């Protein structure tokens, strides 16, 4: 069984929150240097490069006017992109595989995360009762939303540990305050989320970790290999018809990824909007970022074994299982390679 919990505050959270320059509607047709990007949770550390590039002025340096908009669930961001409401999505690479299985041609043009940065947490009152995904049967499991990457990963963890995804109830609770409220109200038993929500729940004693994918070793243990996560992805026809603009954009992100590698977590945090660490505090946000800086891809290039691992994980998803897919068309390294030479 699966259902989505979207009520009260969650409904408000689903409204688009524009965070950069004006409207999130696609505007590239009027001016090719105007690019609109919808990100599946701008204040999550896994999506930090998008706002960091804005704060560092790298979009402007590239001659681009970039509009960032926030959508708590990546699956809704991809819907907006396919409808032409935005030009691109900041979300997990695995969506391009899922979309190909549904007959949609999209591609990731830069890889920003080497691992998912996701954590599976359970309510503290269940400690000793749930120790791994093998105990998921009959449980309510929190995901960002149905059809999101956290949904894909949750289904895989259940199946890998001998529990059919149909024997769980997956509930869309987004992240941040709505995820924490779901834990507080016992609407979910366990759930998958990222920093800074993880630090908030652990420091408050409300939850404990059963799977930690914030490190390469943790991701391999849970998923069987490298799992490239955050990327910029677009419709393939759009990427082909806007190559100059996409190249400028990827160049800005490769530059941002290099900044992350050469600056401290404190220096990076200083660049971020203060409301990104509301609820957890700046010190805790910085500490979490420092501990997981290794999740960021230093080159922007797709890890060679990443697509195959993502496909294996998505086989737990009925939309992908059994489909013959061409992974080579779900991403390209051309733009990131060119950016490395600039």
Query: What CA–CA distance (Å, rounded) separates 46 from 56?
Result: 18
- Among residues 141, 165, 171, which one has the least CA distance to residue 6? 171
The pair of structure tokens assigned to 215 is: 């490190």
pLDDT attached to residue 6: 39
Spell out the residues 6+ positions from residue 104 whose beta carbon is closer than 8 angstroms to its own.
82, 235
Classified as helix, coil or strand, 43 is coil
Supply the pLDDT for residue 76: 84
Asked if residue 135 lies in contact with residue 210, where contact means CB atoms within 8 angstroms, the answer is: no
Residue 212 to residue 162: CA distance in whole angstroms? 19
Residues of the chain with pLDDT under 50: 1-25
Question: Which residue is it, tokens 């990100």?
Answer: 39
Report residue 148 CA to chain centroid gap: 9
Is CATH 3.40.190.10 what the domain over 118-223 is classified as, yes or no? yes
Q: What is the largest CA-CA distance in the chain?
A: 58
β partners of residue 103: none
Name the CATH superfamily for 16-115+227-341.
Periplasmic binding protein-like II (3.40.190.10)
Going by C-beta distance under 8 Å and a sequence separation of 6 or more, which residues neighbour residue 60? none
Where are the chain's structural domains? Answer: 16-115+227-341, 118-223
Pairing, β 34-39 against β 88-92: parallel
> Rounded to whole angstroms, how far apart are CA atoms 127 and 308?
34
Structure tokens at 93: 């690479």
Helix or strand (DSSP H, E) at 285? helix 282-291
The pLDDT value recorded for residue 18 is 35
Q: What is the pTM of this model?
A: 0.89
Provide the terminal-to-terminal Cα distance of the chain, rounded to the nearest Å. Answer: 50
Burial-class residue 182 by CB neighbours within 10 Å (0-12, 13-18, 19+).
buried
What distance in Å separates the CA atoms of residue 195 and residue 6, rounded to the nearest whole number? Answer: 21
Which of 147, 163, 166 is closest to 94 using CA atoms? 147
16-115+227-341 matches 118-223 in fold: yes
State residue 246's pLDDT score. 98
Strands (E), 156-247: 169-172, 190-193, 207-213, 230-235
Region label for 8, one of left (φ > 0), alpha (ψ between -120 and 50) or beta (otherwise): left
SS3 of residue 32 by DSSP:
coil
135 close to 162: Cβ distance less than 8 angstroms: no
């Amino acid at each position: 069984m699966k259902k989505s919990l979207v009520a009260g505050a969650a409904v408000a959270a689903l409204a688009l929150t524009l965070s950069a320059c004006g409207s999130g509607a696609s505007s590239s047709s009027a001016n090719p240097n105007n690019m609109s990007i919808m990100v599946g949770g701008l204040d999550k550390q896994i999506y930090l490069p998008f706002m960091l590039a804005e704060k560092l002025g790298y979009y402007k340096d590239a001659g681009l006017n970039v509009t960032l908009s926030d959508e708590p669930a990546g699956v809704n961001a991809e819907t907006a992109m396919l409808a032409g409401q935005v030009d691109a999505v900041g979300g997990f690479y695995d969506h391009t595989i899922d979309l190909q299985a549904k007959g949609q041609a999209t591609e990731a043009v830069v890889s920003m995360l080497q691992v998912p940065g996701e954590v599976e947490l359970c309510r503290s009152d269940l400690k000793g009762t749930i120790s791994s995904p093998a105990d998921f049967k009959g449980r309510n499991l929190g995901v960002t939303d149905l059809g999101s990457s956290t949904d894909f990963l949750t289904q895989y963890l259940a199946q890998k540990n001998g529990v059919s995804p149909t024997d769980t109830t997956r509930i869309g609770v987004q992240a941040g305050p709505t995820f924490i409220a779901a834990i507080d109200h016992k609407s979910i038993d366990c759930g998958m989320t990222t920093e800074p929500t993880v630090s908030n729940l652990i420091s408050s004693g409300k939850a404990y970790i059963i799977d930690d994918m914030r490190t390469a070793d943790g991701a391999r243990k849970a998923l069987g290999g490298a799992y490239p996560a955050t990327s910029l992805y677009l419709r393939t026809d759009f990427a082909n018809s806007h190559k100059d603009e996409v190249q400028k954009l990827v160049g800005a992100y490769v530059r941002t990824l290099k900044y992350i590698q050469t600056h401290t977590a404190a220096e990076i945090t200083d660049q971020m909007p203060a409301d990104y660490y509301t609820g957890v505090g700046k010190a805790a946000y910085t500490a979490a970022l420092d501990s997981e800086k290794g999740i960021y891809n230093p080159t922007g290039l797709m890890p060679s074994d990443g697509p195959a691992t993502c496909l294996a994980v998505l086989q737990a998803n009925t939309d992908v299982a059994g489909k013959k897919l061409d992974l080579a068309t779900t991403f390209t390294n051309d733009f990131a390679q060119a950016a490395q030479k600039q």
